[in-house]
């Protein structure tokens, strides 16, 4: 007898897992997203569904009646049943695995291992190992366990904070990783993987005098809080490249008051602001009319309930924007190049969509290598 299942229903987080996800999304970035350069390199088996699906946006979809010549089409990574594979029996391996290069080298704070739509074929347990490697990991790579073997639920977001001593077996507080190995026991399918953490940037990759995009996600910028992100995610604002379409930006719903909508971004480092780019690429009928940019110096990332409101100071006064255009602002910046900031607030009037924002400046106290040694600027 077949079960009557709503094949399109999604499992939603609630309670403590929902709060943990919110904390991770606020204070961390997804280090492994394909949008920031994350890449699946190899796996033990992906017979039913390709490993590259793990890093795609969204939670995955389910299409009734869609099959391939290998079986049911699934939007995730899915291996064969392990008992049917001779090499698993011969090697004694007890899990399937996937090796992934992080798009951003960083300190890992948590995972979302999402088995969305994998109802009868999810793994029982998972674990995650990590390494630091300049080359693609191989048989000689030394892996360290970041998330111990732990159970996961089918058709669910499984959220883990790895500084929880119940799950983490190493001191991860300062260790920055380049690759991870996701293990699932004994086999099965995982729809999506999110690796939440903090970017570890090698500032020696920048040359003396170079303006650095301090808002850029790969340089360590973070979108902390927005007034609204009804149509798209807040982090799109600081992603690499120009937006590929209107969904690849930060867009709010239509306001019925004068506004503004706003986004607060924590800069990668305290620094000056000397050049700003605001790009409305693809926003043709829904770009904001005007914008302002403000900044502050703060040791806190808590802006809830209007906290720290009095600290904001102007960087760019209210200025006109245009459709589908990359706007460059230098002379419009009213803050002195000798001033420095840790956070910026982009306000858009009354609402609308911005594809990207770049904040170029010089880091405060950056140590630069020179032919004569090192000096602080």
Whether 292 is in a domain gets the answer yes
Contacts of 255 by beta carbon, 8 Å cutoff, 6+ apart: 261, 350, 351
Q: How high is the pLDDT of residue 366? A: 58
By C-alpha distance, which of 273, 216, 254 is closest to 348? Answer: 254
The reply to whether 178 and 232 lie within a common domain is: no
Cα 147 to Cα 169: distance, rounded to the nearest angstrom = 7
The reply to whether 182 and 294 lie within a common domain is: no
CB atoms inside a 10 Å sphere around CB 285 = 9
The reply to whether 212 and 288 lie within a common domain is: yes
Q: What are phi and psi of 87, to 5 degrees?
A: -65, -30
Q: How high is the pLDDT of residue 209? A: 83
CB atoms inside a 10 Å sphere around CB 213 = 19
Q: What are phi and psi of 165, to 5 degrees?
A: -60, -15
Q: What is the CATH number of the domain that holds 28?
A: 2.60.120.260
How far, CA to CA in Å, does 38 sit from each of 103, 105, 146, 353?
Answer: 4, 10, 18, 26
pLDDT in tens, 296-355: 999 999 998 888 999 999 999 999 999 999 999 999 999 999 999 999 999 999 999 999
The reply to whether 41 and 166 lie within a common domain is: yes
The reply to whether 131 and 23 lie within a common domain is: yes
The reply to whether 175 and 212 lie within a common domain is: no
Q: What angle do CA 291, 293, 296 make, to 5 degrees?
A: 155
Total of domains in the chain: 2
Whether 5 is in a domain gets the answer no
Q: How high is the pLDDT of residue 24? A: 96
Q: Which two tokens stand for residue 280?
A: 């409305």
The reply to whether 246 and 185 lie within a common domain is: no
DSSP letter for 25, please: H
* Positions of the chain with pLDDT under 50: 1, 164-170, 367-377
Domain encompassing residue 233: 205-361
The reply to whether 107 and 226 lie within a common domain is: no
The reply to whether 190 and 230 lie within a common domain is: no
The reply to whether 192 and 315 lie within a common domain is: no
Domain C-terminal end among 147, 167, 199: 199
């Amino acid at each position: 007898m077949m079960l009557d299942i709503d094949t399109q229903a999604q499992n939603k987080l609630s309670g403590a897992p929902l709060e943990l996800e919110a904390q991770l999304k606020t204070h961390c970035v997804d280090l492994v997203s394909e949008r920031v350069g994350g890449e699946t390199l190899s796996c033990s088996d992906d017979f039913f569904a390709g490993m590259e699906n793990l890093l795609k946006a969204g939670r995955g979809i389910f299409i009734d009646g869609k099959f391939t010549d290998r079986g049911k089409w699934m939007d995730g990574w899915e291996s064969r049943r392990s008992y049917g594979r001779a090499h698993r029996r011969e090697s004694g391996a007890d899990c399937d695995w996937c090796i992934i290069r992080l798009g951003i080298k960083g300190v890992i704070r948590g995972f979302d291992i999402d088995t969305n739509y994998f109802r009868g074929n999810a793994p029982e347990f998972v674990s995650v190992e990590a390494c630091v490697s300049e080359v693609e990991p191989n048989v000689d790579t030394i892996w360290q366990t970041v998330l111990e073997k732990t159970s996961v639920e089918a058709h669910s977001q499984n959220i883990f904070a790895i500084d929880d001593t119940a799950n983490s077996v190493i001191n991860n507080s300062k260790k920055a990783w380049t690759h991870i190995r996701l293990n699932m026991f004994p086999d099965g399918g995982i729809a999506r993987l999110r690796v939440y953490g903090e970017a570890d940037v090698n500032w020696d990759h920048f040359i003396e005098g170079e303006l650095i995009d301090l808002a850029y996600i790969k340089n360590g910028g973070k979108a902390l809080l927005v007034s609204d992100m009804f149509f798209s995610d807040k982090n799109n604002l600081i992603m690499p490249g120009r937006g590929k379409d209107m969904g690849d930006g930060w867009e709010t719903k239509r306001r019925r008051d004068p506004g503004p909508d706003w986004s607060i971004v924590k800069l990668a480092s305290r620094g000056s602001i000397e050049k700003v780019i605001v790009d409305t690429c693809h926003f043709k009928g829904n770009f904001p009319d005007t914008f302002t940019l403000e900044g502050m110096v703060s040791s806190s990332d808590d802006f809830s309930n209007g906290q720290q409101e009095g600290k904001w100071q102007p960087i760019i006064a209210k200025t006109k924007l245009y459709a589908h255009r990359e706007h460059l602002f230098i002379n419009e910046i009213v803050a002195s190049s000798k001033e420095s900031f840790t956070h910026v607030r982009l306000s858009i009037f009354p609402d609308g969509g911005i594809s990207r924002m770049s904040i170029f400046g010089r880091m405060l106290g950056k140590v630069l290598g020179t032919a004569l040694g090192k000096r602080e600027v």
